[in-house]
Chain A
Amino acid sequence: MKSSDTRFPQIPWLDAQHFENRRNFPSEELSKYEGRHIAWSWDGAQILASGKSQEAVEEELKALGVDPSRVVFDYVFPGDASVIGPLEES
């Protein structure tokens, strides 16, 4: 389908540039966020906020005046463990 075939025209789609920018983001910079939830800018070029939980990231975004609907949430897995499920340690 085309990006214009949507029930929600007011909500933008992520574009190819977003994915390209994230692919090119320096891995050494990303590794600083290991074990943390983060928010990418809509273009995927920057990390706007980070926190121990997604709720904490959401709060930080609001404090910065950034609309949480216009970021891309993510989680940076710790590098030293294999992943066999999505539950976080409590």
Chain B
Amino acid sequence: MSLIFSYKLWPSPRPVTPLRGRWVRPRPVVSVTLVGPKASRVQPALLDTGADDCVFPESVAAQIGIDLTSAPVGNATGVGAGPIAVRYAQVALRLTDGREFREWQGWAGFTAARLTVSLLGFAGCLQFFGAFFHGDREEVELTVNSLYPGT
């Protein structure tokens, strides 16, 4: 069974030219739960096949009780952005569409850079799923693959 998420529709104040004048922007943003030793948080995250890592705000690590003091560090770059520092930790992640439930342990990067939404990229998330972005239905379908380490 797959997780199926409808794209979120954000109203636009003007017709969106590359979408033939529609008044909304559809985006594959989902709610992902991070579970740490102290607490959990449900974060908005963009399913992003172009992202190498999962990236979350550093403040969330502290809130759920993940100590990043001696965490492995790395750099990340994005479109139009210079390198930002990330610190990596393993965290329990949950996704559900209300019908199917998935929970696994994966590596996540945490950054002090200000993010609008978090990223669910390859390492820690999409490596464990087949991902099909149904542009016509504006749905994304995730199916666990043979690497999936969770329940």
Chain A residues at the B interface, C-beta cutoff of 8 Å: 1-3, 5-8, 11, 13-20, 23, 27, 30-31, 53-55, 58, 68-69, 71-77, 79-80, 82-88, 90
Contacts and interface: CB of A to CB of B under 8 A. Distances in A.
Given A3-B101, A23-B6, A86-B117, A74 B151 contact: no
B13 interface: yes
A4 to B, nearest CB: 9
Interface of B is mostly: strand
Contacts of B84: 87
Contact of B98 (A16, A68, A69, A88): A16
A68 B63 contact: yes
Given A79-B12, A80-B12, A86-B46, A19 B79 contact: no
A73 B25 contact: no
Given A14-B98, A85-B78, A87-B81, A75 B44 contact: yes
Contacts of A31: 11
A2 B9 CA distance: 28
B65 to A, nearest CB: 11
A68 B39 CA distance: 9
A55 B96 CA distance: 25
Contacts of B55: 86
A25 B39 CA distance: 28
Given A1-B151, A79-B11, A11 B96 contact: no
Interface stretch (B67-75, B108-116, B125-133, B134-142): B108-116
B106 to A, nearest CB: 14
Interface in B43-90: 43-44, 46, 55, 57, 59-60, 63, 78-81, 84
Contacts of B41: 68-69, 73
B78 A2 contact: no
Most buried by B among A18, A72, A85: A85
Contact of B118 (A2, A72, A86): A86
B79 A8 contact: no
7 contacts: A3-B101, A5-B151, A11-B35, A16-B99, A17-B98, A54-B59, A86-B55
Given A11-B33, A53-B114, A71-B42, A82 B101 contact: no
A15 B98 contact: yes
